Amino acid sequence: MPSERVWGVPVATWAYALALVTALPIAGDLLRMPVQVYDALGEILDASRAHGLADTFWAATFNAAYLRPFRIVQITALFDAAHGHYWLAYRGFHAALLLVVVWLFTRALDVRSRADLLPAAFGLTVLTGIHTFRTMIQEAFPINHFLEIAAFVLVAVNLCRARPRLWRDVAALVTFCAAALTLESGLLVWVTVVAAWLAGWRGVSARALVVMTVLVAGYFALRVTVTGMPTLVERGSGYFFERLEPAEILAKFGDNPWPFRIYNVAASALSVPFAEPQGGVFGFTRAISLGDIPAGAAIAIATSLLTTGLIARCAIGTLSRTTADPARPFVLIFGAVLAASAVMSYAYTKDDIMSTAGVCYALAVFASVRWWLTRSGTMRAPARAALVVVLAVAGLGWSVRSVGIHHLARSAAFKTRNDWAYQPSLWKAERRWPDAPSEQRLLHQLRSDALAMPVPNPRFQPTWMNQVWGE
């Protein structure tokens, strides 16, 4: 179907314009943030010691708990390509990756009619407003691999919804391999392709799906035989109203980890559609019990309830029909990715792990808003008016959440710049300061780059910003 035109311009172009206006300011924020210290500096130093990408790949394959060689290879490749401009390489890559994700997201919507523009704007707002998106912006290790996984999954969505071609099968398999060897969450590419195939999108053939399934089996075989799985003491995790450190988790669940694992899966599954719990902690529920309701959490939960309600009714409508419905693949993909991401969170709860499910939630919001707008033509006036109110209130709330990403990026930049200020004395006190002069020079350069960046002090921002958007 050819694209409709608005003021002589195809609506698809308008959709990409909306995407660009959404993504560019956030990419600009990323370019104002220093390279991260925690979970990143060690990786950069390792990259500076690496002897070629192939050696790096094989060394990273044999790890005690994880199979993420492509992750390490990327960090090393960017380090080599930086030629001394490390901030530009890592933050530039982060910003470029964000633009790619928003472009792939918009492409997956396949906006062709004027009526699709409103759902597309809604989807983009939810994409950048959901709490799982903040981890894709605030953190980088020094690459944000969760943003990469979202990109891989969106590549899969785009491949699946197109016409079947052999090159698409090959591209889907390559995408799966790259994603699975970057992070465990890369297996979501397979989940996406299966869900899309079941929903009727056949851009990736059954043959390719079978090959991908064999690769998934091979992946698990590798995990069991070569690397092993994360243990209870891998890292801290939320549990109802508190955050447990590894030693506390071991003391509480060392004999029987299953209640903890079941909690992690359930909490993670709830976190995307309801914005609570976050990081495994029911913070809003605890705040209510203390009589101190944070405005930001209230907005987040209210808007999530509204859009999840829209998705739920759309899902019932579209999945109960025997004929194909354009909303069905989006809803099925979201459900499958949400469930799979929740299962992957069995060892610990972390919003990052659910970030791709957050992206798929935004796809489902797009599809369900379009579904509701299509239905609105046959609704009675009161029902239609109620729908207008729900969409307008949800749109307003999600817009407020989306603006918060700029505030959160700035907060992260302030914290990171401070981390750099204290870094040399901290590492010297911990006897981690490197002996090699080249590594010392590298640390000094990264620190100088970070300190030279103009980052505002949060002291001068209005206090309501932290209340609405958090820190």
Partner 1 sequence: MTRWQRTVVWLPLAGLLAFRLFLLAASLVGRPPFWTPEPLTLSEAAAFRDGGEVARLLATGVDPNATYPVRRGAVRGRIEATPLEAAQAAGRDEIVLLLRDAGAVR
Total residues binding partner 1 (CB under 8 A): 49
Q: Which stretch binds partner 1 (CB under 8 A): 103-111, 139-147, 287-295, 391-399?
A: 391-399
Nearer to partner 1, 45 or 421 (CB): 421
Nearer to partner 1, 225 or 378 (CB): 378
306 binds partner 1, rule: CB under 8 A: no
Nearer to partner 1, 377 or 437 (CB): 377
134 binds partner 1, rule: CB under 8 A: no
Q: Which stretch binds partner 1 (CB under 8 A): 93-101, 120-128, 149-157, 291-299?
A: 120-128
Nearer to partner 1, 13 or 289 (CB): 13
- Binding residue for partner 1 (CB under 8 A) from 13, 113, 231, 376? 376
C-alpha 48: how far from its chain's center?
28
Tokens 């209340």 label which residue? Answer: 467
- Binding residue for partner 1 (CB under 8 A) from 166, 262, 295, 392? 392
- Binding residue for partner 1 (CB under 8 A) from 11, 75, 314, 391? 391
Sign, CA torsion 465/277/248/230: negative
From residue 165, give the alpha-carbon distance in Å to each of 162, 200, 208, 245, 292: 9, 16, 11, 49, 56
Q: Which stretch binds partner 1 (CB under 8 A): 118-126, 159-167, 274-282, 283-291?
A: 118-126
- Binding residue for partner 1 (CB under 8 A) from 45, 77, 82, 118? 118
Give the whole-angstrom CA distance, residue 348 versus residue 235.
7
List contacts with partner 1 (CB under 8 A).
Answer: 18, 21-22, 24-25, 28-29, 32, 118, 121-122, 125, 373, 376-377, 384-385, 387-388, 391-392, 395-396, 398-399, 402-403, 406-407, 409-410, 414, 417-418, 420-422, 425, 447-448, 450-452, 454-457, 459-460
